[in-house]
Structure 1
Amino acid sequence: MAHNVHDLFMRAAAAAPPDTEEQPEPIRRAIGWMLVAFVATFLLTRMITRMIRAGKGPFRNMTFSGGLHVHHQVYGIFLMLIAGAAQFAYEPGGVARSILAAAFGAGAALTLDEYALWFHMDDVYWSAEGRKSVDAVLIAAGVGLLLMLGANPFDIGPGDSAPVAAAVSLMNLVFALGAIFKGKVATGLIGVLVPIVAIVSTVRIAKPDSPWARWRYPEGSHKRAKAVKRFPPGRRTAWDRVKDMIGGAPSPG
């Protein structure tokens, strides 16, 4: 069986035209398949989990004997491992690479859909903390879209020297980390590819629960009061309602 799979990928790689830096389309095509599979898998997964939550349809949580709940991120991790290992081992082109890209995207969606569980080490899927999973998926989809469109944070145009390119990339990274340090993870990650987003997020007030606020905004200070006013506890925005529509509203309490 393994020998047949090896032959399949070898034939696909041999039949595909060689990919070079002058031919970006095959790479963008693979990213496109990965992005489509990522979004489709996330939407399908959320539809199924919402049906399970409501007790509708034929779907149920996967459990082993003893009531052990197997989270779908487990399947996503294995899918990413298999797709990534196959890509590194065979380096196929054409259809085979698109298949692996789609498999990797599907696995990433299953894994990131339970992103909040990585940190809380508890089943917070339907809690307010579980909104981090939806944030992670939306950020990843946005970054994937930018990559598919050809965004490159390390490209500052032809003819620039290597030291200048390195300095610009380093400055961009500093602003992106600054935004993340101020509690704005989404804009920080997006800012890696779109520098102006990271710059604006970095110069504006930090979220009150961020590392920056804990370090620079002491209790009773003007900046602490300004941060709490800008980001009050339990604050709900139109973007939160969009996330609830996509991923399902968190349980109260």
Structure 2
Amino acid sequence: MSLIDGLVSADKLPLTLAFVGFLLTFIITRTITRMIRAGRGPFRDNVSGGVHIHHAIPGIVLTISGAFTSVAVDGQSPGAEISAVMIGIGASLVLDEFAMILRLQDVYWSEQGQLSVQVVTMTGAVLGLWVLGLNPLTGDRGFGSGHLALLVVGAIHIGALLLCVEKGKYSTAVVGAFVPPLAWFAALRIARPQSRWARKHYGPDKVERARTRAEKFDRRFGHWGLGIEDLVAGKPTDKPSVPPPSPTGIGDGERRMR
């Protein structure tokens, strides 16, 4: 059986459709948002009644609808394929604004907003591996010691990737998704000075040490990753438009997200 035949077989087609829908939606979404930002083309921000309706909203609707549809059809065609497309498109729309949802602020074009692209990249990488058949839970001989080893290594790898993200090493996490030793090594190294890990666990001396390390690393290698991220996500604004909290503790960005 050829690779193409395997991808469109009855048991693989829904996952393949979800993967293709996920990637195409991300490419189309980023193209449209870049055009809106540049003031080109027919597209404009979706504003209704003074409220900016972000594309994560239809994404949530599609993802939930696709999930319920998938359960209802119990793997039967064509419902399984339809629900897979809905989930792929919906998940892509939601994750494209992951940073905004995480911060409850409109950081889409800021440096913090590039976290969304990194999350989409990691999710796409995992989906791609599943589509190609890398699944430690399945096999012709059932669950054995080889599967257990893969599960243990996979759990360690996912933990290392999450720790990289917690330490502010987003680009390393993306590359480390494909090169596990890189993620493991980076997870053990000192965090970026502005990361959540540094704020929670480092004192002033260690923060200064982290800042020195980060500046040295960025001078040597930082422009490579930043150039790729800017190409995909759009160059961040110099001063991100993040509204200050209102007296009630709910910022304008939060109101727009509701």
TM-score range, shorter chain: 0.7 to 0.9
> Is residue 89 of structure 1 aligned with residue 72 of structure 2?
yes
Residues 87-124 of structure 1 deviation map (CA, whole Å, 9 limit, x = unaligned):
01122334432222112111111111111211222222
**Any conservation in 1 of the 2:95–2:116 contact (CA below 8 Å)?**
yes
Aligned twin of 1:11: none
- Within the candidate set 234, 247, 255, 1:248 is matched to 234
> Is residue 237 of structure 1 aligned with residue 220 of structure 2?
no
> Is residue 152 of structure 1 aligned with residue 135 of structure 2?
yes
Residues 133-190 of structure 1 deviation map (CA, whole Å, 9 limit, x = unaligned):
2222222211211121222356799642998777556544544444344333565588
Q: How many residue pairs are counted as aligned between the two chains? A: 229
**Any conservation in 1 of the 2:25–2:93 contact (CA below 8 Å)?**
yes
> Is residue 76 of structure 1 aligned with residue 59 of structure 2?
yes
Superposed, 1:2-21 pairs within 5 Å as none
Shift in Å, 1:75: 0.6
> Is residue 104 of structure 1 aligned with residue 87 of structure 2?
yes
Which amino acid in structure 2 is aligned with residue 102 of structure 1?
V
Q: TM-score of the superposition, structure 2-length normalised? A: 0.72
Aligned twin of 2:256: none
Which amino acid in structure 2 is aligned with residue 124 of structure 1?
V
**Any conservation in 2 of the 1:217–1:223 contact (CA below 8 Å)?**
no
**Any conservation in 2 of the 1:206–1:227 contact (CA below 8 Å)?**
no
**Pair 36,204 (structure 1): closer, same or farther in 2 beyond 3 Å:** same
**Any conservation in 2 of the 1:29–1:98 contact (CA below 8 Å)?**
yes
Superposed, 1:55-204 pairs within 5 Å as 55-65=39-49, 67-152=50-135, 159-160=144-145, 171-172=156-157, 174-185=159-170, 195-204=180-189
Aligned twin of 1:219: 204
Distance 2:15 2:182 in 1: 23
Larger Rg: 1
Residues 33-73 of structure 1 deviation map (CA, whole Å, 9 limit, x = unaligned):
111111111111122222222222222222222x1111111
Distance 1:190 1:93 in 2: 37
Aligned twin of 1:7: none
**Any conservation in 2 of the 1:83–1:100 contact (CA below 8 Å)?**
yes
Distance 1:136 1:122 in 2: 17
Structure 2 unpaired stretches of 5+: 1-7, 240-258
Residues 187-212 of structure 1 deviation map (CA, whole Å, 9 limit, x = unaligned):
55886787534323323343223344
**Pair 155,94 (structure 1): closer, same or farther in 2 beyond 3 Å:** closer
**Pair 227,100 (structure 1): closer, same or farther in 2 beyond 3 Å:** same
**Any conservation in 1 of the 2:166–2:197 contact (CA below 8 Å)?**
yes
Q: TM-score of the superposition, structure 1-length normalised? A: 0.73
- Within the candidate set 13, 34, 43, 2:27 is matched to 43
Distance 1:124 1:161 in 2: 43
Aligned twin of 2:254: none
Distance 2:158 2:35 in 1: 41
**Any conservation in 1 of the 2:137–2:143 contact (CA below 8 Å)?**
no
Identity %: 33
**Pair 154,168 (structure 1): closer, same or farther in 2 beyond 3 Å:** farther
> Is residue 32 of structure 1 aligned with residue 16 of structure 2?
yes
Query: Secondary structure in 2 aligned to 1:135?
Result: helix
